Amino acid sequence: MADLTEGTGERVPTVVVDGVDIVYRVNGTGAGRGSATAALHRVLRRGKAGKASGVRRVHAVRGVSFVAHRGEAIGLIGTNGSGKSTLLKAIAGLLPVERGRVYTDGQPSLLGVNAALMNDLTGERNVHLGGLAMGMSRAQIKERYQEIVDFSGINEKGDFITLPMRTYSSGMAARLRFSIAAAKDHDVLLVDEALATGDRSFQKRSERRIRELRARAGTVFLVSHSNKSIRDTCERVLWLERGELRMDGPAEDVLKEYERFTGGPDRKAPRAKPAAGPDSTAQPDSAPSPAC
């Protein structure tokens, strides 16, 4: 890859995805998988993998390649099960790839703080915890605290910021997470369906914030089933279908083809045969199976 730097007048790559395959291992798909006899049989025949073990390999992402540049906002679209969220997790370094490589310039953040927040703590405490998890100083958190709360809108119907997060609706919790993550400028920000939460006012605030991040030389990836949000926010779109990159180009061109495929704006085609996405019981093939 060419050595591109600021000052040359050329676009600077921030993410390079080169021929990436992500494979999940689906356990327990063989006949009799629920019986104790079948389990014992698999132990005794451990040397014979494949059908006897009831394990199959499923491609979530197949041979995807693209280059993202600083200042771009890139939408990821596709029917359910097409590998969009899986690809974001691989870019963030949270999933291993089977083949190919992912290169990033800077630290990718998948909404930044999801894993750090704790349901038994108040929203106020989680703002501080999430800010620290993203590398902000206590002084920076204090300075931006009220802005984060106002941005989330969770106090519009009461003093919810002082209540434990377990009392929040899923939409309130998602809005607070996005608000905390958006309080910091990111090299690469990966947003998965965050703009689907909240009312139109929150969505507009989120879209403005994404444009601000782009203006500060960041790169934003946005997964959304709302074609309007993609149009309002992104100038480039990647269309994944059944794990393959079907189209990469200007947002309007790709969305028109996608809408032709799905039957109209903001309509989804029938779910693709699942490529064992992150909501399934499958695990990446190159990752160890979780302990029971």
Say what the pLDDT of residue 43 is.
Answer: 56
Say what the pLDDT of residue 205 is.
Answer: 82
Q: Which domains does the chain have, with CATH numbers?
A: 13-24+67-112+186-279 (3.40.50.300)
Cα Rg for the chain, rounded, in angstroms?
21
Say what the pLDDT of residue 110 is.
Answer: 81
Say what the pLDDT of residue 178 is.
Answer: 83
**248 SS3 class:** strand
162-174 confidence digits (pLDDT tens): 999 999 988 888 8
CA-CA distance, 154 to 175, in Å (whole number)? 8
Model's pTM, two decimal places? 0.70
Low-confidence ranges of the chain (pLDDT < 50): 1-7, 31-32, 47, 49-50, 52, 112, 269-270, 273-282, 285-292
CA-CA distance, 270 to 280, in Å (whole number)? 18
Q: Which residues contact 251 (CB under 8 A, 6 or more apart)?
A: 75, 230, 231, 234, 235, 236, 237
Say what the pLDDT of residue 226 is.
Answer: 84
Say what the pLDDT of residue 203 is.
Answer: 76
63-73 confidence digits (pLDDT tens): 999 999 998 99
CA-CA distance, 232 to 221, in Å (whole number)? 14
